[in-house]
Every structure is written in C-alpha cells, then in structure tokens.
Amino acid sequence: MKKLLPFLASLLVLAFSSFIMLRPVAEAGYQVGDKAADFKLKNVDGKLMSLADNKAAKGYIVVFTCNTCPYAKAYEQRIIDLNTKYAPQGYPVVAINPNDPATVPGDSFAEMQKRAREKKYTFPYLQDETQQVARQYGATRTPHLYVLTRQGADFVVSYIGAIDDNSEDAKLVKTKYLENAMTELVAGKPASVSSTKAIGCTIKWKKA
C-alpha cells in the first residue's frame, strides 16, 4: 500500500499534466467532429446573420475569405459555384471576412459591399469585426473552409480545409476535395477525407 500511494500520486500528476498539455490544442480551433458555436455577424446588406436563422439549412459551407488575397480571388468563382450547386441541396455558402481593415483597407465593410455587388454574390458575406469567429474556428488563412452539418439542434464540423488541388487553374483540377466530401455528407455519411490543407494568405489579425 505504501508503495502504491506514490505510484497513484504520480499517475494523478501525469493525468493532470497531460490535461494541461491538451489545452492549447483545443484553443487552436475546431477539429472535425466538434460542435460549432453559432455567431451573429453583419452581412453586406447591413443585417445581422446567425446560423440558426435558416431553419431549412441542413448545414453550411463556411468559408473564411477576403477581397484582397490573390488565393481568395483565385477561388472566388469556385466559391460562387459551390453555392449554386449546394444551396439547393440544403448547404448554402456563408462567406466570412476576418481581416482587420485597419491593416488591409481593401477589406473594409464598404469594400466588402462593393465586391459582393460587383461579383453578384448569391450568399451572405459577413464581417468578423472582432475576429472572434475566426479565432474560435481556428482559421489561419484565406480561403479556409469548414463544412457544418446539422445534427439535432447543433451544427457539427464535418470537413475542414481546401476546395481542390489546383489554385492556379480550375480547369487543371484533378481532385475536388470539398465536393468529394460534400457527396458523402449530403448522403448522410461522414467524409472519408475530412481534413485537407491548402496555401493561403495569413489572416491579418488586429495588432494587440
């Protein structure tokens, strides 16, 4: 018993320290399978939008994007096309601009409105003014995609990552990572490739 006590104590310390070590991972944002918290962000039409607003949505394709990043621009038409394809199936696109307009004037609310008008966005384009949502999701770059699926009262993160394997030329794409995942998710199955990586512009965080 005397020998067991220190052993148990060290086990406890070990368990506790591994708990502490896990914390930063949780803070680094959502993983596939996590519940996504709802938000209330201003759309380019001036109205506030939440995930809960659209009662018919089976899920959302949430994309952190912006006006100014060349990669975001390269994917802009493909994002518009995703909404055309998946909104009728119950998974509309929600675009969120997380960039600090003080750092990037081209990402101001007025410029966002202009861009949405010019490119005839068929989906909401929200400003993440406090950058809280991007931090919560763990978005690091634009574009950065998260597919959410409705499970009961919750939205669950079901895919994170890239749209496809060729940012430069949509015509040369071989693997459509997001669409492959969507095919499975729409059918009520988990995505077999649920996490992919892509290059993008770093999110312009507010200076502390």
Which residues contribute to the site for other proteins (CB under 8 A)?
A: 70, 140-141, 161-162, 165-168, 172, 174-175, 177, 196-203
Query: 69 or 148: whose CB is closer to other proteins?
Result: 69
Shortest Cβ 93–other proteins spacing (Å): 20
Query: 31 or 151: whose CB is closer to other proteins?
Result: 31
Query: 83 or 142: whose CB is closer to other proteins?
Result: 142
* Nearest residue to 142 (alpha-carbon basis) of 71, 88, 87: 71
Shortest Cβ 97–other proteins spacing (Å): 16
Query: 124 or 200: whose CB is closer to other proteins?
Result: 200
* Contacts of range 181-189, beta carbons closer than 8 Å, 24 or more positions apart: 181/147, 182/61, 182/86, 182/91, 182/147, 185/59, 185/91, 185/147, 185/149, 185/158, 185/159, 186/58, 186/86, 186/89, 186/90, 186/91
| Distance between CA atoms of residues 157 and 60, nearest Å | 10
| Distance between CA atoms of residues 11 and 35, nearest Å | 31
Angle at alpha carbon of residue 118, lines to 117 and 120, rounded to 5°: 60
Query: 33 or 70: whose CB is closer to other proteins?
Result: 70
Shortest Cβ 29–other proteins spacing (Å): 9
| Distance between CA atoms of residues 47 and 145, nearest Å | 23
Work out whether the CA dihedral 170, 176, 178, 183 comes out positive or negative.
positive
Shortest Cβ 88–other proteins spacing (Å): 28
Shortest Cβ 169–other proteins spacing (Å): 9
Query: 124 or 161: whose CB is closer to other proteins?
Result: 161
Shortest Cβ 202–other proteins spacing (Å): 4
